[in-house]
Amino acid sequence: MTDLATLRQRLSDAETARHKLLTGSMREHISRSGTEITYTRADIAKLERYIIQLQGEIARASGGIPRRRTLNPYL
């Protein structure tokens, strides 16, 4: 199981990549479980799902209950 600090760092990296893609960057790279992943604007929905997954893992690792969240239909 991945430690909480690592999960939070991955979430921060993913949210930063999403922000950059939404504000003009053509492609962003993040590390995901030791593998470099490239996201483009066409992959924003995949990146959003990854962010939701990380939020759930963080909630479980923190002893909380993951909240239900729906994807943005405009992505």
pTM (predicted TM-score): 0.78
pLDDT at 73: 53
Domains of the chain: residue spans and CATH: 4-61 (3.30.1580.10)
Q: In the structure encoding, which two tokens stand for residue 67, read together?
A: 């909240």
- Residue 71 pLDDT: 58
Each residue's pLDDT tens digit, 31-49: 887 889 999 999 999 999 9
31 forms bridges with which residues in the sheet? 36
HSE-up of residue 7 (Cα within 13 Å, Cβ side): 16
**pLDDT < 50 positions in the chain:** 75
